[in-house]
Amino acid sequence: MSETPQPSRATLLEIYRIANLIQRADDRFIELIKAGQIAPPYYSPRGQEIIPAAVSVNLLPSDYVVTTYRGIHDQLGKGIPLKPFVAEFMGKASGTCKGKGGPMHITHVASGLPVTTGIVGAGLPIANGLAWSSQLRKSGQVTVCNFGDGATNIGAFHEALNLASVWKLPVVFVCQNNGYAEHTKYEEGTSSRTIADRGVAYGMPGVEVDGNDALAMWAAARTAVDRARAGEGPTLLEAKTSRFGGHLLGDDSHYIPRDDMAQAMAADPLPRLRSWLIAQGHATDGALSDMERTNEEVFEEAVRFALDSPFPDESELNKDVYAMESAA
Ligand SMILES: Cc1ncc(C[n+]2csc(CCOP(=O)(O)OP(=O)(O)O)c2C)c(N)n1
Ligand SMILES: [Mg+2]
């Protein structure tokens, strides 16, 4: 674990609680899919939980988070309410988007989650728009924009970083570098040694950080969020992490060397954080077990709520989809 600055004990426990909730959600979604109870396309964030957990404890409820199809960790980190979250994942009428977003487009404006996109790189210019709006309104809100390493080879990434820097937008770009874009290994698709270097090219701090180290991730996020909130402009964080499986559930990940996968899983950041919290005297094993049990119970309640909810009615098909001209 890295050294200073140090988050409070309460913050560390909150990071663990969020990361454990993400893991619980991920395990349960995979179980439900494998049992044939639901059949969504599923892009697991397993291995990447620490990033949103450590970023989100630095955010205010009014701040914005933009994410992608691999986004349940970011949504849970931002504090999306569990029942309508799980219902949206299952495409149910009681979901945050009335079942019309589905697993890849879970949004919830009230939680500060206005955009979840399946288009690689598309979130960045939209995040700039949100940040620009905050800047014009002088609202003090910060926008965190999450995306993968593959997204940094899309034109929109470069245009967005340039404009955010020129206009000193209050945005934190968080590249969750899991080493793969679908089946393509980082080195085979990306020319620069690090993604962080690309931030420097656009005149903003480009920070490489171990996204699996809760303290390092928390400190990097805190600096970037503070900088954005103070009106000093954007930061690009490159959070190094690992994907514990294929691109989506059902992909056997044959293209990832078995040794690499085994090594990543052996360094699972969650048990590492758990043992560290106990060793440092921040929590007892019993207290963490209680926390894990509570996460399991509240998540299970949300699963039951979602399974029992109906799908949207046919009459909902065109509602909230097109901007209709008023008949009056
Ligand atoms: C513009 C665009 N091109 C291609 C795709 C197909 N696609 C979906 S996910 C993905 C890989 C993205 O990798 P990365 O940005 O590293 O994110 P990760 O899946 O690793 O989180 C690709 C190429 C897409 N959705 N959008
Ligand atoms: Mg990736």
pLDDT tens per residue, range 194-238: 999 999 999 999 999 999 999 999 999 999 999 999 999 999 999
Question: In ligand 1, which atom is closest to the CA atom of 178?
Answer: 20
Q: How many C-beta atoms surround the C-beta of residue 197 within 10 A?
A: 13
- Cα(105) to ligand 1 centroid in Å equals 14
3-state helix, strand, coil in the chain (%, to 5): 45, 10, 40
| Pocket perturbation via mutation, ligand 1, pick of 48, 66, 68, 120 by most ligand atoms within 8 A of CB | 120
Indicate if ligand 1 lies below 6 Å from the C-beta of 178.
yes
pLDDT tens per residue, range 27-66: 999 999 999 999 999 999 999 999 999 999 999 999 999 9
Residue 12 confidence (pLDDT): 98
Q: Which residue is closest in CA terms to ligand 1's atom 6?
A: 120
pLDDT value at 324 more than 90: no
Residue 240: phi and psi, rounded to 5, are -75, 130
Distances (CA, A) of 148 to 111, 114, 115, 292: 22, 19, 15, 28
Residue 2 confidence (pLDDT): 47
Answer positive or negative: Cα dihedral of 272, 278, 279, 280: positive
Indicate if ligand 1 lies below 6 Å from the C-beta of 119.
yes
Torsion angle in degrees (nearest 10) through CA of 225, 228, 234, 236 = -10
Structure tokens at 190: 């990306």
Task: Please give the mean pLDDT across all residues of the chain.
Answer: 96
Among 150, 155, 172, 152, residue whose Cα is nearest residue 243: 150
Residue 326 confidence (pLDDT): 65
pLDDT tens per residue, range 281-321: 999 999 999 999 999 999 999 999 999 999 999 999 889 88
Indicate if ligand 1 lies below 6 Å from the C-beta of 179.
no
pLDDT tens per residue, range 68-124: 999 999 999 999 999 999 999 999 999 999 999 999 999 999 999 999 999 999 999
**Hunting for tokens 């097109």 — which residue is that?**
322
Question: In ligand 1, which atom is closest to the CA atom of 181?
Answer: 13
* Strands, sheet with 171-177, edge to edge from the N-terminal-most edge strand: 115-117, 64-68, 143-148, 171-177, 235-240, 206-210
Residue 64 confidence (pLDDT): 98
pLDDT tens per residue, range 167-199: 999 999 999 999 999 999 999 999 999 999 999
pLDDT tens per residue, range 127-151: 999 999 999 999 999 999 999 999 9
Q: Is the pTM of this model over 0.75?
A: yes
